Structure 1
Amino acid sequence: MSDAKGKLFETSEKFPQTEYWNDSCAVKELEYAIDRGATGATTNPVIVGNVLNQEMNLWEDTLIKWIDEMPDATEEEVAWRLIEQMAVRGAKLLNPVYEKTNHKKGKISIQTNAKLYRNADAMAEQAIGFGDLAPNIMVKMPTSAAGIKAFEEATFAGISINATVSFTVAQAIAVAEAVERGLKRREEAGLSNENITPVCTIMVGRTDDWVKEAVKRDNLCLDPCALEYAGVAAFKNAYKIYQERGYKTRLLAAAYRNYFHWSEFIGGDVVLTITQPWQEKINGSDVEVKERMDRPVPEKYLNELKKIPDFIMAYEEDGLKPEEFVHYGAFVKTINQFLGGYESLLGVIRKLMVGEPIRK
């Protein structure tokens, strides 16, 4: 059975502490993943736009109905109704996992408005509002200095957060510490922390992407094999610190670029959120499913990486200060992509509002 369902199912059977999530809320993709051991899902503005394009036949009539029912609504109001309903639909598909695991797994992450990444109060307010959508909702927010404040407030309100737009050890530690402050405040207020399951994403593939760009920018000549380990090295260093300090937050690896972003984390008490194309590649591979989380990055590659200033920023605990998070190259590129994806989604809604046909 394990061979028939692929390597990710085998991973979930042998290493249940290494959770695997579907990096999308598309129905067919989520069903594929759940059947192979997935225990959660993630979304963001780009994902929602892509899912809408894939499933326009399922959503167009509903969107037109909402537009007619809400004659005063802006495209943003309609878009957020769609985003929320996609999350609710995914939450329902994951509910059996949620119930089976006593509410520890089976959750879906919905992301706050990317435009709010500088506004802690607005992010926290939206995050807390999302908590009413379904019992198995988590909330993603960007890991800016404002995001760190929002993580604490949302945690105090009982929200399981998913810190995103995060690429560095410094961000991961700031997130975990913010969550700990929120949990402590809940304890002092006599509130339970039992069902709060926070995660902090490190977008390992985007860490790789940025380090490679920095190498070109700085005209460095390095072993190209080392560059495939940048995100892995940052993730493993953050994991070591998390384990030593006993944070309740768990690390989540996202933005896959090579199979190391799965294989090197097997055996860790972590989450791996994977797009369907990468799920299919991994499931069809002949890579052995064995524990590698505690295996260090080869020293020769780590020494090469440490010649890159932007890698040091990602790898060292004090590589960045919170006020510098939004200026790190990977953050700049990713938040702009998220903002662009959000604007593209609004553009689709706007076309429907003015009666422009979507389906050809």
Structure 2
Amino acid sequence: MEKLLETVLKYPQTEVWNDSCSVKELQYAVDRGAVGATTNPVIVLQVLKNELSDWSGTLKRLIKDNPSWSEDDVAWEMIKIIGAKASEILLPRFHETQGKQGRISFQTNAKYYNNAQKMVDHACELTKVVINGQVKAPASMAGIEAFEEMTYRGISINATVSFTVSQAIAVAEAVERGLDRRIKEGLPIDMMNPVCTIMVGRLDDHLKNDVKSKNILVEPDILEYAGVAVVKKAYSIYQTRKYRTTLLVAAFRNPYHWLEFIGSKIVLTIPYGWQVKFNSSEYEITNKADDSVHGTIIQKLMKLPEFIKAYEEDGLNVEEFEHYGAFTATINQFLNGYDDLCKLIRTFMVTEIS
């Protein structure tokens, strides 16, 4: 039996999602037990590049039928079309679980990361694309405000651009406020499924870049556990406080980002390439939910100020979220990726005009 299918069969509380809206990759994942998927402009760009022959006709028709549209208009329509196509694969699971699984995440425009109202408005637009949609937005100061309002409006959120325990707590508290407002007004919450991402690999990347830039010598292996340690700390807090948000592990860089969370009530959103590697591996599938990162590793990591900011409950205040190094690096990549998506579409528009 392939390892990811074995993971979810042995421990159904541990969900696997496909970290892409590629229909081909999602079908591979679903055939092996995956129950969700995600999109963002960078992912859509990659799907278009890898599967251009499948989508070029749709893109050309969209441009031809809407001659007054900008590349931004076309980009967002393509994001919706590609995401909607992938969502069909997940729809049976969505109905079987009454909305608890089988969702695909659409991401709000990264340009809105500092504007709560724009994120909420865009979330309301994106949630209408498919019945089994979920909405991603960055866990910035404005994002935390937006998550409460989105939740109140019945939107299942997926907090992204998130790397720290303090962000995870702020997200969960915002969701709790939104859910409580709905309950107070007699509005249903039974089909909602909020999640909070922690981008473990991107945190590891940030710490590696930080020690390199500061000429700090550390044992390289400990940095492979930094994101794992942060998620396990946040997970313990979530379980103790009984938050109604589920943690989600993203940005895979090593096998620990899978193995260390087997058995936890958690979501693992795994890129196709890592899925193939994991499925062909010989790792033993064992429950690691109650295992902690070794104390010696934590002690060494705690000598790094950037790790302390990520690991401690009060490591960052909400105003600092969007200034943390991993956040700035990731939001810039998302912004640049969106620009690259628009550039790709522009080449089709100019060709069609010519």
Deviations 1:264-300 (A, max 9, x none): 0001100000001100111111111011121010111
Name the residue aligned to 1:64. 60
Name the residue aligned to 2:278. 282
Letter in 2 for 1:262: W
C-alpha displacement at 1:221, in angstroms?
Answer: 2.1
Letter in 1 for 2:123: A
1:1-360 correspondence to structure 2 within 5 Å: 3=1, 6-355=2-351
Please state whether the residue corresponding to 1:200 is helix, strand or coil: strand
Please state whether the residue corresponding to 2:76 is helix, strand or coil: helix
Please state whether the residue corresponding to 2:13 is helix, strand or coil: coil
Deviations 1:155-209 (A, max 9, x none): 0110000000000001000000000010011111110110110000000000111
Deviations 1:1-57 (A, max 9, x none): xx2xx1100001000000000000101100000000000001111111000111211
Extract structure 1 runs of 4+ deviating beyond 6 A. Answer: none
Please state whether the residue corresponding to 1:355 is helix, strand or coil: helix
Distance in 1 separating the partners of 2:325 and 2:314 = 17
C-alpha displacement at 1:218, in angstroms?
Answer: 2.7
Distance in 2 separating the partners of 1:125 and 1:134 = 16
Normalising by the residue count of structure 1, what TM-score does the alignment of the two structures yield?
Answer: 0.96
Q: Is the 8 A contact 1:214 1:308 kept in 2?
A: no
C-alpha displacement at 1:356, in angstroms?
Answer: 7.0
Q: Is the 8 A contact 2:84 2:129 kept in 1?
A: yes
Distance in 2 separating the partners of 1:120 and 1:312 = 28
- Larger deviation, residues 319-328 vs 213-222: 213-222
Normalising by the residue count of structure 2, what TM-score does the alignment of the two structures yield?
Answer: 0.98
Letter in 1 for 2:240: E
Deviations 1:193-246 (A, max 9, x none): 101100000000001111111212232222222111000000000000000000
Equivalent residues, number: 353
Distance in 1 separating the partners of 2:46 and 2:90 = 20
Please state whether the residue corresponding to 1:222 is helix, strand or coil: coil
Distance in 2 separating the partners of 1:172 and 1:92 = 30
Distance in 2 separating the partners of 1:70 and 1:251 = 40
Letter in 1 for 2:221: C
Deviations 1:100-156 (A, max 9, x none): 222210000010101110110000011011111111100000110000011111101
Please state whether the residue corresponding to 1:256 is helix, strand or coil: coil
Please state whether the residue corresponding to 2:248 is helix, strand or coil: strand
Letter in 2 for 1:309: P
| Seq. identity, % | 55
- Larger deviation, residues 58-67 vs 267-276: 58-67
